[in-house]
Structure 1
Amino acid sequence: MQNVKSVLVGDTSVGKSCLISYFTNEVLHYFDCTIPTVSDSYTGTLMMDGNTFCLEIGDTSGMEDFDRLRPESYPKTDVFLLCYSIERRASFENIESKWNPEIKHYCPDTPILLVACKTDLRSTSSHEDLITTNEGQALANKLRLSFCETSALTKAGLKECFEAAVKCTVDNQKALKRKAEKNERKMKKAGRKCSIM
C-alpha cells in the first residue's frame, strides 16, 4: 500500500472539512463542517488501477490568525488540494493572490489540484454570481494546475477528486524519478570527461 499525504488549503468555510468528512466516512453534521479548523488529519483508503492507496488528508484553517502556523503542515506533502467555494468569489480570487503563491513558496515542486466545492449550489441556489466550470478550468489552466469539481452534499466528484490527487502524486513521483535519473546520467557522463594530469 502506498501512502499519499494530501493537504487541503483555501479560505475558511469553503467546504474543505466537509469534503474530507464525506470521503473518509467521518460523520459530521453540516453545521460541524463550519467549525474553524486549526489543523486536523484524517485517513482514508482508495483503490485505483489495482493498487491501494492510504490517503493522509490534512485539513488546514484558512483564517488569517493561522497564517504563521498553517505552513507547518506542508512538509512532506505529496499533493495539495487548493479549494474554493463556487458561491464565494473572494475565495476564488484568493486562489491566485494568496493560496497558490503560499504553496509555491513553501513547496515549489509539489503538485496542486484546484478543487471547486459546493457545486450542488448551481442547481439549488438563486445566487447569481456563482463561479462557473469554465472560470475554474480557465484559472487552473492559467496557474498550470489540475482541476476538479465536487459537492460534499451530493457526493458528486468526491471519489474522482481524490483519484485525481493520487494521480497527480504518482505522475509527479515518476517525473522526479526521471529527472533524477537524467541528472545521474549527466554526472556520470561529465565524470568520464575529466582527466587528471
Structure 2
Amino acid sequence: PPIPNQLLPLLPSLTPQSPSSPLSVENRDHHHQPSIHLQPLSPNLLFQRSCVCVEAYTTASCLILSSPSSPVSPLVQIKMAEIRRKLVIVGDGACGKTCLLIVFSKGTFPEVYVPTVFENYVADVEVDGKHVELALWDTAGQEDYDRLRPLSYPDSHVILICFAVDSPDSLDNVQEKWISEVLHFCQGLPIILVGCKVDLRNDQKTIDELNKTSQRPVTSDQGEEVRKKIGAYKYLECSARTGQGVREVFETATRAALLTKSHKPKKPCSIM
C-alpha cells in the first residue's frame, strides 16, 4: 500500500530516488532477531545501523516503506520502539567491553583486538513485555582518552562498569578510578558491575600466568564485595566468548534503565 497522505508532508523525500537505494535485513544477534539496515534515501533521513532517526516523524509506532529494488521484499515494515534508553559501558582497556557489546548486538565474537575510541551500537531488548531500543555506547578505557570519554555520559540511563576476571588490577581500578568518574558525571544513575571473561577463571594457562605475579583470577565473592563498596545496583558475570551470562547482563541493564526517568530541559517562560 502507498504511504498515507497524512504522512507525505512530514516525509517529503521518503520515496527512493533510484534503484541504488537497497534495503537489507540481517540478524542482529545469535537469537536471530531481525534488524533492518538501510542506506539513506535522501539527506532528510539518517539511518545509522539499526537505529532509524526520522526528525519530522517521531511519534509513529511503525513506518511503511516500499522499494522496487528491495532484495528482500517490495514491502518492509520498520517498527519504531516506543521506549529508548542509553547505556554507557566503561572499564579498563582490553577488559572485554567491546566483545561483550558485539556479541550481544551482532552475535559474533571478534577474534582480533582493536582498541576502541568511541563506538555505538543499537539493540532491541524486550523485558517484562516492554520493547526497548537500547543504545549501547562503547568507550575507550586507556588514559589517553580520559578527557574525551566524558562526552559519552550525557543523557545516559544506566552505566556498566566492567573488569576482567583474569585481571585483578582491572577490579582494583573499578574502585580507584571508574566509580569516581561515573559518580562525577552520572550521579544518581544505576550502575551494574560486570565481571567479563569469566571463562578464564579456571583456565590453567591464565592461572599459571597470574601466579608469576602472586595473583589469582577474581572470584565471585570478590566481585560482590566490590559491588557493595561502590553501591552498584547489581553484580553480574559473563563470557563473551562462550555467551554465558551475556543476555542477562543487558536484560538487567534494561530493567535498571527503565527505572531512570528521562529528564528533558524545560523551556523558560516568556513574559510578554
Give the TM-score normalised by the residue count of structure 2: 0.61
1:141 deviates by 1.2
How many residue pairs align between the two structures? 173
Does residue 137 of structure 2 align to residue 49 of structure 1? no
- Match of 1:172, SS state, is coil
Does residue 227 of structure 2 align to residue 143 of structure 1? no
Alpha-carbon separation, structure 1, partners of 2:164 and 2:147: 23
Q: 1:36 aligns with which of 105, 111, 115?
A: 115
Alpha-carbon separation, structure 2, partners of 1:84 and 1:125: 20
1:172 deviates by 3.5
Does residue 98 of structure 2 align to residue 17 of structure 1? yes
* 8 Å Cα contact 2:127/2:255 also seen in 1: no
Alpha-carbon separation, structure 2, partners of 1:28 and 1:85: 16
Alpha-carbon separation, structure 2, partners of 1:92 and 1:161: 18
1:90 deviates by 1.1
- Match of 2:85, SS state, is strand
- Quick one: structure 1 residues 142 and 73, their matched pair in 2 at CA, closer, same or farther if it must change by over 3 Å? same
Deviations 1:15-45, CA, capped at 9 Å, x for gaps:
00000000001645311xx211111100011
1:109 deviates by 1.4
Amino acid paired to 2:111: Y
- 1:7 paired residue number: 88
More RCO (CA 8 Å, sep 6+) = 1
Give unpaired runs (5+ residues) of structure 2.
Answer: 1-81, 208-215, 264-272
More helix per residue: 1
- 2:244 paired residue number: 156
- Match of 1:151, SS state, is coil
- 2:158 paired residue number: 79
* 8 Å Cα contact 2:109/2:240 also seen in 1: no
Give unpaired runs (5+ residues) of structure 1.
Answer: 177-197
Does residue 146 of structure 2 align to residue 67 of structure 1? yes
- Match of 1:127, SS state, is helix
Alpha-carbon separation, structure 1, partners of 2:163 and 2:223: 9
- 1:194 paired residue number: none
Give the TM-score normalised by the residue count of structure 1: 0.83
